[in-house]
Amino acid sequence: MDTALNLKAPELYLNRELAQLEFNFRVLAQAEDPSVPLLERLRFLCICISNLDEFFEVQVAILRHHVGSGDAKPGADGIAPAELLVRIRQRALELVRAQYALWNEVLLPELAREGIRFLACEQWSPKQQRWLQGYFQNQVLPVLSPLGLDPAHPFPRILNKSLNLIVTLRGKDAFGREGGMAVVRAPRSLPRIVRLPPDVSEQPYEFVFLSSILQRFVDELFPGMRVKGAYPFRVTRNSELFVDEEDVENLAHALRDELRQRGYAKPVRLETAESCPKTVTEFLTRNFELGEAEVYRCAGPVNLHRVAAVYDQVERPDLKFPKFTPRVIAPVVAERNLFEAIAERDILLHHPFESFAAVIELMKQACADPDVLAIKQTLYRTGPDSSLVNLLIEAARAGKDVTVVVEVRARFDEEANIQLANRLQEAGVQVVYGVVGYKTHAKMLLIVRREKGLPRRYVHLSTGNYHQVTSRIYTDFGLMTADPDIGNDTHKLFQQISGLGPVIELKHLLQSPFSLHKGVMQRIEREIAHAQAGRPARIIAKINALNEASVVELLYKASCAGVQIDLIVRSGCTLRPGVPGISDNIRVRSVVGRFLEHSRVYWFANDGAPEMYCASADWMERNLLRRIEVCFPILDQDLARRIYDEALDNYLRDNTQAWILHADGHYERATPGDAPPHSAQQWLLEHLC
């Protein structure tokens, strides 16, 4: 390697926020792809819009907060934060324009051809108009509370991402007050998409946006006055919770207080109808204390993501992905004792292709087994009515020692997790809120069972959450093992999290924030040493995101030394592959398809003695340095080979859903060329289900 090379040079690093924003163009490409079933294309459009909402609520909000407080600093890419906000706006505007162009010019007409119509006011038949007016008068009007704006009625607090109308009026009301402006808040209790009943529909499925109903009949709220215009708008607010964990006595109580204010935190974006006059938009921006740079004009409904609700209402299997049945592993099918099966050999689960039912069954057997003494589990996101939660409660009531680490700071699940913690505690479960300053993101389940008079530990470790719904739409790996060393390591981790213990030494597991970052770096360094000694050296990693600067720098060093590196990075990647003399030996691809790629797999060639790891952590700064994460080795070589084949080689061969990252930061979709088409996810469906 040329010692004169500066591997910290800002031009070698892509910006983290822009890289994350870029991922949404790849999601939108799924919605644009005519080979994808039509209703799935609609769903991908809604995912793209929801992703952009969260991007503003978190990344843009945090950036604006730091810029406003004067403590913002450039990242490894060297882009000044104020300049970054300008670039984000430019790219976000392109994304918003592309979203609405797809909706208006492609999806609306294609859906209409299939008998699925979204009707604007001017498309209503007289019969439909009468029905909708009745719906407005009977269902909507009774729960509306329009607010005329005057000195006695200042601009109201507007809830984050809620649907509202700003109405301009002329004339005098019953008290002689001159018309001006009013705000109409859409009732949160009503659906945002209304399906017309069959007796007034002209097609099998016809829908109307609630915003259209409000706009058409809003004049009934202001009798005697003339409505000059009614314009939907939506404000996005900072949704990051700021709690000084070192200075609170009860984290759950402090978070609960913050959650009450989250919906009314500082605004970061205003969306308005494209037809909204400039004077009205300026009135809104003044009241939200925003500038023109935070305004996004929508060429359609401001809450377009709400069309996702129709996916389940439209019974057209031909317009959706074919249904599949996840494979149930043999021990569960045979109704075997899972503890005996795991004791014989480690069990690997690859979701969603293999059923999460095996995890549920393991917990069921643990609840019913009189020899099970204790159960310990981490919960980050579980979903409502979780079977696992019910089983944990059942186990506690059966007299077993149950300890659950509930991460109450899981973004957007804070309230649900606080309620979950309360429910568990009421059942006698010992609940731990994790470690102050570090989110517990590790996915661990430990069951202690008495065998031959001695305790034996059974462990389930995973790359994804204990969430039954996402286990059918996210790709993840889970390992069930009775390996004594892994069991002992997992036991130590639970003790450390709950008991304020010291830094611990683990035999097999790597743990953030202590040994995982160091462990990854050491293994990259080892590949560098192999390459420098003239031995074959290779690294393959499948992760959701890569932005930790020291890891990127070391990967550059490895590339310069001749290490062959393949990175499968679903979302944001700040490394520039293919830079001459720097990253010639690094290839980066992103796979976007039917399932959300979520598994984290690290593979190091190690001169013919390869090491395979699965983890809860991406190669991101927060995961490696500021969270509690677990990385676990796959010691069974047959299982390691299976993961290599299914999650690494398979994805490196994908030439239909893969996107190749170039040195300038743009992604190009892979094409089969002369090779047979290969979709990694489809291959897994065919081979595992």
How far, in Å, CA of 576 to CA of 546, rounded?
11
- The first and second tokens of residue 199, run together, are 């007796």
- The first and second tokens of residue 259, run together, are 């959650």
Please, which residues bridge with residue 147 across strands? 183
Residue 599: φ, ψ to 5°: -70, 145
Give 3-state DSSP helix, strand, coil % of the chain, rounded to 5.
40, 25, 35
Q: Burial, 167: exposed, middle or buried (Cβ in 10 Å; 0-12, 13-18, 19+)?
A: buried
How far, in Å, CA of 544 to CA of 596, rounded?
10
How far, in Å, CA of 428 to CA of 387, rounded?
17
Contact status, residue 486 vs residue 437, Cβ threshold 8 Å:
no
Indicate the residue type of 428: G
How far, in Å, CA of 80 to CA of 17, rounded?
12
Please, which residues bridge with residue 569 across strands? 543
How far, in Å, CA of 550 to CA of 544, rounded?
17
Q: How many CA atoms lie within 13 A of 457 on its CB side?
A: 19
Please, which residues bridge with residue 615 across strands? 600, 631
Please, which residues bridge with residue 477 across strands? 350
Contacts of 568 (CB under 8 A, 6+ apart): 540, 541, 542, 543, 589, 590, 591, 597, 648, 651, 652
Residue 594: φ, ψ to 5°: -55, -40
530 is catalytic: no
For residue 614, give the nearest of 472, 462, 495, 507 by alpha carbon.
Answer: 462
Q: If you count them, how many residues does the chain have?
A: 689
Q: Which of 441, 517, 598, 678 is catalytic?
A: 441
How far, in Å, CA of 182 to CA of 280, rounded?
11
Helix (H) or strand (E) holding 589: strand 586-591
- The first and second tokens of residue 157, run together, are 């607090």
User: Which residues are known catalytic residues?
Assistant: 441
